[in-house]
Chain A
Amino acid sequence: MSGFDKVVDSYEDALAGLEDNMMVIAGGFGLCGIPENLIKEIKRKGTKGLTVASNNAGVDGAGLGLLLEDKQIKKMIASYVGENALFEAQMMSGELEVELTPQGTLAEKMRAGGAGIPAFYTATGYGTPVGEGKEVREFNGRHYILEEALQGDFSIAKAWKADRFGNLMFRKTARNFNPMAITAGKIAVVEVEEIVEVGELDPDEIHLPGIYVDRLIKGTFEKMIEQRTVRSA
Chain B
Amino acid sequence: MALTRDQLAQRVAQEFRDGYYVNLGIGIPTLAANFIPKNMNVMLQSENGLLGMGQFPLDEEVDADLINAGKQTVTMVPGAAIFSSAESFAMIRGGHVDLTVLGAFEVDCEGNIASYMIPGKLIKGMGGAMDLVAGADNIIVTMMHASKSGESKLRTQCSLPLTGKGCIKRVLTDLALMDIEGGKFILRERAPGVTVEEIKSRTEGALLIPDHVPEMSFA
Contacts and interface: CB of A to CB of B under 8 A. Distances in A.
A127 B46 CA distance: 25
A150 interface: no
A100 interface: yes
Contact of A226 (B67, B85, B130): B67
Interface residues of B, number: 51
Nearest to A231: B56
B83 A175 contact: yes
A146 to B, nearest CB: 15
B7 to A, nearest CB: 22
B126 to A, nearest CB: 5
A104 B63 contact: no
Nearest to B48: A29
Contacts, number: 171
Given A29-B67, A172-B82, A128 B89 contact: no
Contact of A227 (B65, B71, B89, B134): B71
Most buried by B among A32, A103, A230: A103
B39 interface: no
Interface in A10-54: 29-33
Interface string A173-202: 111111110000000000000000000000
Contacts of A79: 125-128
B175 to A, nearest CB: 27
Interface residues of A, number: 55
A9 B46 CA distance: 36
Interface string B67-81: 110111110100000
A78 B125 contact: yes
Nearest to B46: A173
A231 B59 CA distance: 7
Contacts of A33: 65
Interface in B72-112: 72-74, 76, 82-86, 88-89, 92-93, 112
A180 B82 contact: no
The DSSP consensus for interface residues of chain A is loop
A33 to B, nearest CB: 7
Interface string B6-28: 00000000000000000000000
A171 interface: yes
Given A102-B126, A123-B93, A180-B84, A228 B165 contact: no
B125 A107 contact: no
A86 interface: no
30 contacts: A29-B48, A29-B71, A30-B71, A32-B64, A55-B85, A80-B127, A102-B126, A103-B127, A104-B135, A106-B85, A107-B85, A107-B86, A108-B86, A123-B134, A126-B134, A127-B166, A130-B130, A170-B82, A173-B49, A173-B50, A173-B66, A175-B49, A176-B84, A180-B84, A225-B62, A227-B72, A229-B56, A229-B73, A230-B56, A230-B59
